[in-house]
């Protein structure tokens, strides 16, 4: 029999708060930290951006691996952010974009 103590977080609570923190970090990187900012080129409703040079991310629905590769290496006219963002930041923005767009899932 398991006993829960009041105020003791469940494992899912901890992972939910971690996911939320990662989402917030990813949104901040997308809208503020990255230079140039992602929304200058990309449309992403969740972030309130309407860029028209890059992919409309809700239409593309990229998974996190695809976003991370694009951010790290650049694609077409999109610059590489490898020397501008840490790997943690790249992973956070990739997670954020994939989650708010549907992550490539149909």
**Residue 12 domain flag:** no
| pTM exceeds 0.85 for this model | no
Assigned token pair, 28? 């901040």
Indicate whether 76 belongs to any domain.
yes
State how many domains the chain has: 1
| Domain annotation covers residue 45 | yes
**71 in helix, strand or coil?**
helix
Q: Which domain holds residue 76?
A: 18-101
- Over 60: is that where the pLDDT of 104 sits? no
CATH number at residue 96: 1.10.760.10
Query: What's the confidence (pLDDT) of residue 68?
Result: 98
| Structural domain contains residue 106 | no
**C-alpha 67, offset from chain centre:** 8
Portion of the chain with pLDDT greater than 90, in percent: 80
Question: Alpha helices, DSSP H only, in the chain?
Answer: 11-28, 57-60, 64-73, 87-101
Give the angle 54-55-56 at the CA atoms, nearest 5°.
120
Mean pLDDT of 34-59: 96
pLDDT digits (tens, 9 = 90+) for 76-103: 999 999 999 999 999 999 999 999 999 8
Asked if residue 13 belongs to a domain, the reply is: no
């Amino acid at each position: 029999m398991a006993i829960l103590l009041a105020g003791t977080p469940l494992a899912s609570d901890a992972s939910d708060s971690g996911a939320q923190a990662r989402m917030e970090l990813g949104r901040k990187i997308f809208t503020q930290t990255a230079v140039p900012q992602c929304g200058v080129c990309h449309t992403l409703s969740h972030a309130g951006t309407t860029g028209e040079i890059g992919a409309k991310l809700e239409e593309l629905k990229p998974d996190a691996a695809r976003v991370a590769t694009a951010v790290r290496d650049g694609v077409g006219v999109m610059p590489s952010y490898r020397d501008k963002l840490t790997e943690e930041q790249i992973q956070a923005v990739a997670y954020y974009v994939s989650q708010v767009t549907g992550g490539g899932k149909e």
